[in-house]
A and B are shown apart, each in its own frame.
Chain A
Amino acid sequence: MSARGWQKHLGLAVGLPMAGIDTDQLIPARFMATPRDQGYGGFLLHDLRYDGAGAAVPNFVLNRPESAGASILVAGRNFGCGSSREAAVYALIDYGIRVVVAPSFGDIFAANAVNNGLCPAQVCEKTSASMLDALAEAPRRVTVDLEACEIVGPACRVPFRLDPVWRQKLIEGWDDIDLTRAYAADITAFRDRDARARPWAAVRPPGGHG
């Protein structure tokens, strides 16, 4: 299913001042056998949110009462590095997050995010640090504008970077499968050409010939 497109998002931003939040932390592996329709929001950052006995860690940012309803997460560099598990994006989306702001993202995570309507907004280290400083006092409501590539709040206006193709995809809510099927003739033509150019690339079942 494709994500619905969006252009502007007004929401509550919270800060998670940690670098290298990998996808194993975003969703620990043990939750990944769950079918998606059961909802992944409860798994988000599970082992940071809850202690070994399952009790909420009182000081963790998402557990503070003033963070309720947060939809924008501001974090340190290399957010979403590691495992390609798209479940990390499902956990963010199902929790209600629409935008993650960080100085850099794991490549596969960022692609997965865009495929699910989650915006990976890249800002410079300085901007990230000052946003995290501001959010350390309290979460704030800001608007993320995909058209302008800006995050706008009462006392801030910061630009972010987003691959133009991804930006378009988020705005339109494109579905790649539908898009690709429009190129079916090109794919068939390639396939025929390629079969002659690289005959050895065809799968040869064991015991077969040629």
Chain B
Amino acid sequence: MSAGPQTLLDKLWHAHEVLRRKDGTSLLWVDRHLLHEGSHHAFAKLAARGLPVAAPEQSFAVVDHYAPTRNRDEGGVTPEIRSMIARLKENAARHKIRLFDLMDPDQGIVHVIGPEQGLTLPGLTINCGDSHTSTHGAFGALAFGIGATEVAHVLSTQTIWQARPKTLRLRFDGALGPGVGAKDMALAWIAQFGADAARGHAIEYTGAAVRGLTMEGRMTLCNLSIEGGAKLGLIAPDETTFAYLKDRPYAPQGTSWDRACADWAALPSDAEAAFDREESLDCAQIAPVVTWGTRPDQAIPVTGTLPRGEGSEVNSTLTYMGLEAGRPIAGVPVDQVFIGSCTNGRIEDLRAAAAVLAGRAARVPGQVSPGSARVKAQAEEEGLDRIFTAAGLDWTGAGCAMCVGMNGDLVAPGARCASTTNRNFKGRQGPGARTHLMSPAMVAAAAVTGEITDVRPLLAGRAVA
């Protein structure tokens, strides 16, 4: 490795490179491997070859995608779902992997509990058979999603083959306006550059607005890296990162913690380090963002108007979404709302939604699913659950829930859902579902007014979390 200035990615890569083949592909050591019900294909591959798990203490499994959010003691809403959960349990038990089961007080969405438990740390490599593994990059960890064949590879070797991605530095200048947050930053850059703009790249998010984000906000930003096509997202660790992690269950303790912090402080990109690409956005220009289409880059400010049919693709998307070209997006009536997911299911997200909903009634039904059992407990301690239920929303258990509908929490065909999730793909929340992605505060505003609404006037005179 050259002695010149290095990026955060360079440092992470170097620290994990077991070897590099002549063709340039690196074999990387994997520090933490996260599993969920979808890992059954990978376990089946191991079983077919009679291979053991190389380092079971470095793998962690959690029930999230199929987790029922109601009547949890039934273990799943259909026999098929119950068997998916049972299969994960069997595989975890067989290979002596720690499982965060449905009733575990530490259960939750894999990308919420990793950081919450202190399994996610700066300077680690983290893999999971899930594209939103990019979330963990918020801590300065090299974290990316992989497919089932690769999951089997990590299980059996604790390593992964990877070509080093190119680097993209994405700088957020200036300050965010009130009522505008990390979700809006993410949707704004994806809308501006495109859903495949960052393909093959590791994005490092920098700038004053990024430094100013809490860890929750940073996770939201890194979570959505994949929706802009990036391989992974990164944010340099700093005091905010350390303060979040200190005394988490799996975080280093005592002298090990001090040593870790010293090592982590050396991770940020060197001042002169060169990136393959540089882009920037002005935060003062970012308004709350709403998606109108079926790709995450089909997004506009809530003050904007729907595009006119430039080409059949826009027209057919508008038809699917039941929208009229050229009309303002604000005022479009919604049928329901969803607050949750690995993008926006953390305590701060629930506080932001509750700040809008407090003392108000929702005009449409909706579900609030905290990202983890711990988030649920904390929200209940803060009384947020009572704000949601008083407004008329359902307060449910933790899991992926209506983000992907695998557990049975589905949006009906043709129904329009204002959602804090990450994908507005056709059919993502259920066949024929119409999804509008937006921030938790914006979803709360949609609940209160029954339509897509600029949240900012609703925040007047309120303390915003």
Give A residues with C-beta under 8 Å from B. Answer: 1, 18-20, 22, 24-25, 28-30, 32-33, 35-36, 47, 52, 77-78, 81-87, 89-90, 104, 106-108, 111-112, 115-116, 163-165, 168, 176-177, 180-181, 183, 186-187, 190-191, 194, 197-201, 203-206, 209-210
5 A-B pairs within 8 Å (CB atoms) are namely A25-B425, A32-B406, A164-B23, A168-B23, A187-B159
Which of A168, A186, A200, A203 has the most CB atoms of chain B within a 10 A radius of its CB? A200
Neighbour of B199 across the interface among A19, A24, A107, CB < 8 A:
A107
What is the bound-complex CA distance between A125 and B260, given in angstroms?
A: 48
Contact with A along B384-427 (1 / 0, CB 8 A): 00000000000000000000111000000100000000010111
Chain B positions within 8 Å of A186 at CB level: 18-19, 27
Chain A positions within 8 Å of B331 at CB level: none
Neighbour of B147 across the interface among A29, A82, A115, A163, CB < 8 A:
A115
Closest to B200 in A: A107
Chain A positions within 8 Å of B423 at CB level: 22, 24, 82-83
What is the bound-complex CA distance between A132 and B124, given in angstroms?
A: 44
**Shortest beta-carbon distance from B295 to chain A in Å:** 5
Q: Is the pair B253, A209 in contact by a Cβ cutoff of 8 Å?
A: yes
**Shortest beta-carbon distance from B328 to chain A in Å:** 25
Q: How many A-B residue pairs have CB under 8 A?
A: 181
* B57 interface hit (Cβ, 8 Å): yes
Q: Is the pair B200, A200 in contact by a Cβ cutoff of 8 Å?
A: no
Residues 236 to 282 of chain B near chain A (Cβ within 8 Å): 249-257, 259-260, 263
What is the bound-complex CA distance between A72 and B423, given in angstroms?
A: 28
Q: Is the pair B256, A32 in contact by a Cβ cutoff of 8 Å?
A: no
**Shortest beta-carbon distance from B94 to chain A in Å:** 17
Q: Is the pair B431, A201 in contact by a Cβ cutoff of 8 Å?
A: no
* B365 interface hit (Cβ, 8 Å): no
| A-B pairs, 6 with minimum CB distance | A112-B147, A200-B260, A115-B149, A86-B148, A206-B249, A86-B147
Chain A positions within 8 Å of B41 at CB level: 36, 86-87, 90
Given A24-B428, A47-B426, A177-B157, A81 and B259 contact (CB-CB distance below 8 Å)? no
Chain A positions within 8 Å of B405 at CB level: 29-30
Chain B positions within 8 Å of A181 at CB level: 157
Given A106-B229, A111-B147, A112-B149, A200 and B431 contact (CB-CB distance below 8 Å)? no
Q: Is the pair B163, A200 in contact by a Cβ cutoff of 8 Å?
A: no
Closest to A89 in B: B147
Chain B positions within 8 Å of A201 at CB level: 31, 121, 123-124
What is the bound-complex CA distance between A194 and B38, given in angstroms?
A: 30
Q: Is the interface on chain B under 10, 10 to 19, 20 to 34, or 35 or more residues?
A: 35 or more
Q: Is the pair B250, A81 in contact by a Cβ cutoff of 8 Å?
A: no
Chain B positions within 8 Å of A36 at CB level: 41, 44
- A83-B404, A164-B23 known; 11 new pairs, CB 8 Å cut-off, are A20-B195, A22-B425, A32-B38, A47-B426, A78-B195, A83-B130, A87-B41, A181-B157, A200-B252, A200-B257, A206-B117
Neighbour of B145 across the interface among A108, A194, A200, A205, CB < 8 A:
A108
Q: Is the pair A199, B259 in contact by a Cβ cutoff of 8 Å?
A: yes
What is the bound-complex CA distance between A190 and B119, given in angstroms?
A: 21
Neighbour of B259 across the interface among A33, A111, A200, CB < 8 A:
A200
Give B residues with C-beta under 8 Å from A. Answer: 15, 18-19, 23-25, 27, 29, 31-32, 38, 40-41, 44-45, 48-49, 51, 57-58, 66, 80-81, 83-84, 117, 119, 121, 123-124, 129-131, 145-150, 152-153, 156-159, 161, 163, 195-196, 199-200, 226, 229, 231, 249-257, 259-260, 263, 295, 313, 404-406, 413, 423, 425-428, 431-432
**Shortest beta-carbon distance from B313 to chain A in Å:** 7
What is the bound-complex CA distance between A206 and B84, given in angstroms?
A: 28
Neighbour of B163 across the interface among A25, A165, A191, A199, CB < 8 A:
A165
Closest to B148 in A: A86
Chain A positions within 8 Å of B80 at CB level: 33
**Shortest beta-carbon distance from A27 to chain B in Å:** 11
Q: Is the pair A82, B124 in contact by a Cβ cutoff of 8 Å?
A: no
Neighbour of A81 across the interface among B148, B153, B195, CB < 8 A:
B195
What is the bound-complex CA distance between A22 and B423, given in angstroms?
A: 10
What is the bound-complex CA distance between A106 and B196, given in angstroms?
A: 8
Given A22-B425, A209-B253, A210-B256, A47 and B431 contact (CB-CB distance below 8 Å)? yes
Q: Is the pair B131, A108 in contact by a Cβ cutoff of 8 Å?
A: yes
Q: Is the pair B149, A198 in contact by a Cβ cutoff of 8 Å?
A: no
Closest to B48 in A: A1
Q: Is the pair B195, A203 in contact by a Cβ cutoff of 8 Å?
A: no
Chain B positions within 8 Å of A86 at CB level: 41, 129, 147-149
**Shortest beta-carbon distance from B119 to chain A in Å:** 8
Neighbour of A85 across the interface among B31, B38, B117, CB < 8 A:
B38
**Shortest beta-carbon distance from A201 to chain B in Å:** 5
